Structure 1
């Protein structure tokens, strides 16, 4: 039976971290899960927050790393081999988890919706959209470790290595299943909110080729232009 493993990665996020930890421990009351926290050598009190809950964690560590995806790779390595893994940053939260994960099978990727701030909901897509942009978010994504036992994130990508991993999973033929019960919350203002398009384009080109990269460029500029077109008003008499 697959077991849920939630991994939180943090560096200097003390003001947000406790809320994230409590959201996971609340789920732990009703769902049998493991919880891992990987801290990147924080100096702002994050480690004190972690220590308060250390007896309820499977594993935690605080040490310097090479960025968020290095920390996520460490968490992946520490998770049980039978785990389905979900990642949260400091300030992210679990809203709800699916019951009876075993009904999906031990090699099925389960995905859900992500609330982004107070008034936005990210609706995931696992079709051709995944070839164009980051259409699945890690706050509501359970990936069986059995699909990729080794740490999966390519450190050449500083912002979208999870998108790269999702594309590689899809290209390998992995099965994705939507679960309405799986709902996450993403804290606004994360690193990916500030990222440019260049890294995404490199990932699409590497995993899917020139045609999909060209389509991604077209879609990107269409999304930029469309809001401007909506604001235009016709001139009377023309």
Structure 2
């Protein structure tokens, strides 16, 4: 079962090795295809990715001028090969837990008509980049939050939804997920952790004012779509945002 994971990266030389290693340790669980899209990095990110590629033929690296994360994700979608059956995402500063894809693909094997698994995420203050696990005693919180990396998508669903909206500076993932669930996919929501979301000073969601504004714009667009087309599904109960004030917009 070929699984393509799209990873946009921009100036993440301190984190990208751990992110890639967290995927590579799951090569026995799927026919893994890692699509790294460098969005015009100016640090050592590209050289680091190339070094990892020398040990892992399943990584493909693509370059573009700095155009933002939505554009980088679209570039990744454009590099999907015909044999890809499933698609997931991972940001270059986060970690994919061991066994995550094995747990997800069990659901698709049991139900070939399934479009999506959407699991839990863990926000952590400190990650051990050698063990690829939260450090002992680190602050952590588990939620069903807004993260593309919490989902494993069937290829037919990805093809149906189309591209990311490049008008978004942030929250392009929120907009995409809302469009996914509005389309009425067949999905399951396992109580397994699909993502370690790393909290650090460079998180895009820490930029003052921007994340909340962009998130609300995504919500507003969803409301307008559903008002214009009553056949679209509501998204009530899909995301557990009760703790969002503690982490998402800090």
TM-score, normalising length: structure 2: 0.72
1:11 Cα deviation (Å)? Answer: 1.1
CA distance in 1, matches of 2:32, 2:191: 19
Q: Which moved more, 1:176-185 or 1:158-167?
A: 176-185
In structure 1, stretches of 5+ residues that fail to align are 125-134, 213-219, 225-238
In structure 2, stretches of 5+ residues that fail to align are 125-137, 228-240, 246-250
Name the structure 2 match of 1:77.
78
CA distance in 2, matches of 1:13, 1:152: 24
CA distance in 2, matches of 1:182, 1:146: 24
Q: Is the 8 A contact 2:4 2:35 kept in 1?
A: yes
Q: Is the 8 A contact 2:39 2:66 kept in 1?
A: yes
1:162 Cα deviation (Å)? Answer: 1.2
Q: Is the 8 A contact 1:74 1:151 kept in 2?
A: no
Name the structure 2 match of 1:20.
19
Name the structure 1 match of 2:34.
35
What secondary structure is seen at the aligned counterpart in 1 of 2:190? strand
Higher helix share: 1
1:207 Cα deviation (Å)? Answer: 1.4
CA distance in 2, matches of 1:90, 1:176: 26
Check if 1:165 corresponds to 2:176. yes
RMSD (CA atoms)? 3.0
Off by >6 Å, runs of 4+ in structure 1: none
- Over 3 Å counting, the alpha-carbon distance change for 1:18 and 1:25 in structure 2 is same
Structure number with larger C-alpha Rg: 1
1:10 Cα deviation (Å)? Answer: 0.7
What secondary structure is seen at the aligned counterpart in 2 of 1:179? coil
Summarize deviations over 1:178-198 as a string: whole Å, max 9, x none: 123452111214213434422
**Alignment partner of 2:143 out of 123, 126, 147:** 123
Name the structure 2 match of 1:207.
222
Q: Is the 8 A contact 2:2 2:30 kept in 1?
A: no
Check if 1:153 corresponds to 2:155. no
Q: Is the 8 A contact 1:59 1:78 kept in 2?
A: no
Q: Is the 8 A contact 2:122 2:193 kept in 1?
A: no
1:163 Cα deviation (Å)? Answer: 0.9
1:57 Cα deviation (Å)? Answer: 2.7
1:209 Cα deviation (Å)? Answer: 4.0
Name the structure 1 match of 2:6.
7
Check if 1:49 corresponds to 2:55. no
Name the structure 1 match of 2:118.
111
- Over 3 Å counting, the alpha-carbon distance change for 1:106 and 1:211 in structure 2 is closer
Check if 1:185 corresponds to 2:161. no
Summarize deviations over 1:23-65 as a string: whole Å, max 9, x none: 1000113332211111112231111111122242342112313
